[in-house]
Amino acid sequence: MTGANSQRLFHEAQAYIPGGVNSPVRAFRGVGGNPLFFKGSEGAYLIDVDENRYIDYVGAWGPLILGHGNKKIVGAITEQLQHGIGYGASTEAEVKLAKKICEVVPSIEKVRLTTSGTEATMSAIRVARGFTGRDEIVKFEGCYHGHSDGLLVKAGSGALTLGKPDSLGVPEDYTKLTHVLPYNCITSAEAFFSQNGDRIACVIIEPIAGNMNLVTPLPGFLEGLRALCDKHGVVLIFDEVMTGFRVALGGAQSVYQVSPDMTCLGKVIGGGLPIGAFGGKQEIMDMIAPLGGVYQAGTLSGSPLAVAAGICMLDSISDPKIHKDLAETTQRLMDGLKERAKSNNIPFTTNHVGGMFGCFFSEEETVSTYNQVMSCNSHSFQKYFHFMLEQGVYLAPSAFEAGFMSIAHQEVEITATLNAAEIAFSKL
Ligand SMILES: *Cc1c(COP(=O)(O)O)cnc(C)c1O
């Protein structure tokens, strides 16, 4: 049910932009059909170029925890605009944001801002390599850490949606240095480390995997990785670009009480503007230029507009009530969906933490591994996605993306979503 204006724009876009999109997961390849084009948004809603309104569970892929067009965030950006768009030099505001991040995430003693999550993970790995003097790294199947070369091995998100875990153009010599282990399997990590631990610079992991749908860590998994890294002198990096400030103010590390050596951030800290950050222990972070020999830079890093939005965002969500409300609303939606799936005899289960959730068309009671995610019924998801869209609910156009709740989603939106789901399930 793509409207005429979206159809026309998509047609034109394909002439000038590869695939008509500026990021592959925006295309509807995972669900079939053509993508919608949007022109506006408000609270929990997106408005497309054909004037259709949708309850939005993408939230710009995570940042919009306060909903679309939040007045405080818009005000903070507008205020900064009066003073300047960018100076290419230091500002008081970036010090304030850095201090705030260090206060909220105690494992971060020093932090550097970037322009995207991809840069944050790429730079964190470079620092970990510089710090340890080792080249090899470990990542986990189905985890996505942005699109830098060495990390596009068995990656999640768009790389999964397209069924291409690896990318052309990535030299094999780069990915030879990347070892991939199964998520949530501590015994295989232990076996790997007993053979190779002393050659590994860092382990990078999404502490809650949000790019293969949503998979939470099994009890003992993150703790086990912490112990292995300690034993072998390996830097443990939590990629909290998605989970940071979203599952709890202090991120997944505060939920599971496991402290990494380095943390990558993005999404929420820019309030919707382009930003990323990486930080961690002082002795590691002091390896970075101009203090140390690890080079890292960025023309637009610490953009005053993004920093203004970020400070306002962190101030706005520092009241514990925000994450409590988000978690309750998410819980209500998940319970309601499971109930309706069950009454329609649809095999269906969910995972959720704080304001993030995942829905699975699966016979399994719980989904906690990459293989379980991959064996979900993708055909059911595709049909469900389009039935929901027809009824004004915009879900991520892929079975491998997490869903995002905002505080603008109130009782009326949850009820409308559940009513839509009742109809969608009954038609499957
Ligand atoms: C989105 C995401 C990234 C990449 O961030 P970009 O800003 O898109 O470059 C990295 N890691 C995780 C866990 C993400 O969800």
In this prediction, residues 320-333 reach a mean pLDDT of 97
Local confidence band at 156 (pLDDT 50, 70, 90 cut-offs):
confident
198 shares a domain with 83? yes
- Domain boundary (316, 351, 369) is at 316
- The model carries a pTM of 0.97
Q: How many CB atoms lie within 10 A of CB 286?
A: 14
CATH number for the domain harbouring residue 405:
3.90.1150.10
Give residue 170's pLDDT: 86
Which atom of ligand 1 lies closest to the CA of 61? 1
List, in order, residues 6 or more apart from 186 with CB less than 8 Å away: 220, 221, 224, 225
- Domain boundary (316, 333, 350) is at 316
Under 8 Å between Cβ of 174 and 150: yes
277 shares a domain with 136? yes
CATH number for the domain harbouring residue 276:
3.40.640.10
Share of the chain above pLDDT 70, in %: 98
Task: Say yes or no to pLDDT of 94 above 70.
Answer: yes
Under 8 Å between Cβ of 364 and 176: no
269 shares a domain with 166? yes
Local confidence band at 289 (pLDDT 50, 70, 90 cut-offs):
very high
Question: For residue range 329-339, what is the model confidence (pLDDT) as tens digits?
Answer: 999 999 999 99
CA-proximal residue: ligand 1, atom 5 (nearest) = 117
**What is the DSSP code (8-state) at residue 273?**
B
In sign, the C-alpha dihedral spanning 365, 371, 377, 382 is: positive
Site to probe by mutation for ligand 1, drawn from 113, 122, 147, 241 as the one with most ligand atoms within 8 Å of Cβ, is 241
Give residue 162's pLDDT: 54
User: Is 16 an annotated catalytic residue?
Assistant: no
Out of 267, 370, 384, 394, the active site residue is: 267
CA-based nearest residue to 237, from 143, 303, 100 = 143
Give residue 161's pLDDT: 59
170 shares a domain with 216? yes
Task: Say yes or no to pLDDT of 174 above 90.
Answer: no
378 shares a domain with 295? no
- Domain boundary (286, 316, 346) is at 316
* Domain count along the chain: 2
Local confidence band at 175 (pLDDT 50, 70, 90 cut-offs):
confident
307 shares a domain with 353? no
Which atom of ligand 1 lies closest to the CA of 157? 15
User: Is 144 an annotated catalytic residue?
Assistant: yes
Range of the domain at 180: 71-316
75 shares a domain with 58? no
